[in-house]
Structure formats: C-alpha cells, structure tokens
Structure 1
Amino acid sequence: MPKTYAVPPPPPLNEGKTVAAWTLNMGVVLGAVLVAFGMVRSQPTLWIAGIVVILLAIVVGVGLSFVGLGQKSTKTEDR
C-alpha cells in the first residue's frame, strides 16, 4: 500500500523578524561587546556584567516567545 504524505504548511512570512528575536539578538550583541571591552581593559566587573546581560537577553527573548511575540510554530502532528 503506497504511503501518502501531507504537504507541509508554508513558512511564516516574518522570516524570524519578531520582537523576541530582535530583543534576544540585541541583548546578546550588547553583552558580547561588554565582555570584549572588559577583557581588553582587564576589568572583570565589565565582562561579568556582559555575561549577565547575555543571560538576561536569553531569558527575556524566550519569555517573549512564550508570550506570543516570537515566530509561530509550523509543526504538524502526524497521527
């Protein structure tokens, strides 16, 4: 018996350009810049602050995604 396959849904039109993605991206970039400056200037407090900014950006980005400001899921259930 031949197996039939369902056509996958179309990809989202936002191409991942969402509030959650931009927030996460900008937070990680800012944190990386702080870490880099802290390492160049030998200031541990600056690079620790950069690590904290990166961790906060991850938490906020994931939180915004759960709230609904991220990319919509296109997963289909196969049953």
Structure 2
Amino acid sequence: MVDTSSQTEVAYLPPVSPPTNHGHTTAAWFTMVGIMVGAFVAAIAFVIPVVWLFWVGMGIVVVGLVGGLLLRNMGYGQVAVAAERDA
C-alpha cells in the first residue's frame, strides 16, 4: 500500500548564508602573493647578510598589504554580509 498523505518537510535556514569563497578574490590573491614574495626576498637577504635587500623585502610586504586593502575597498574583495555591515 502506498502512502498518499501530503506532508511537507519544514527546513529552518538562516536568513543569509555566510560567504563561502574562502578568500578566493583578487584582493586576497594580491595580498598573499605580495606577502610571500616579500618574505622570500627578506629570507634570501637574511641568509646572505644584505641589510638593504631585507628592507626591500619588507617594503614589498607593505606594498602587498596596502594594495590588498585598496583592492578590497575598490570592490575586488569578499562581499560583506549584511549582518556584519550593520553591526
């Protein structure tokens, strides 16, 4: 015998799901590549003691951080959730 009753399942979902891109944005990639290249240059300068090259590497890190912040503010970063914006 087949059950012909029409019962619907109720799902309770949050009003807005959190973003799920895990930082796969232009701003995130630019920031991480800038930090990694700057750290690599600074590490090479640390191994062969060249002080000015170390500071060049730290400058590249700063450029990566500032560039990522600018890209995020220009709209190339992760979209903020409405609940986070209002808080």
Q: What TM-score bracket applies, with the shorter chain setting the length?
A: 0.7 to 0.9
SS at match of 2:35: helix
Equivalent residue, structure 1, for 2:29: 22
Question: Which structure has more RCO (C-alpha within 8 Å, separation ≥ 6)?
Answer: 1
Rg larger for:
2
CA distance 1:8–1:37, change in 2 (3 Å): farther
Aligned-pair identity (%): 31
TM-score by length of 1: 0.83
Which of structure 1's runs of 4+ aligned residues deviate more than 4 A?
A: none
Gaps of 5+ in 2: 1-13
SS at match of 1:10: coil
TM-score by length of 2: 0.76
Q: Aligned pair 1:34/2:34, yes or no?
A: no
| Offset of residue 35 of structure 1 | 0.6
- Matched residues in 2 for 1:45 and 1:28: separation? 18
Gaps of 5+ in 1: 1-6
CA RMSD of aligned residues (A): 1.4
Q: Aligned pair 1:54/2:61, yes or no?
A: yes
SS at match of 2:56: helix
- Matched residues in 2 for 1:43 and 1:19: separation? 32
Aligned length: 72
SS at match of 2:78: coil
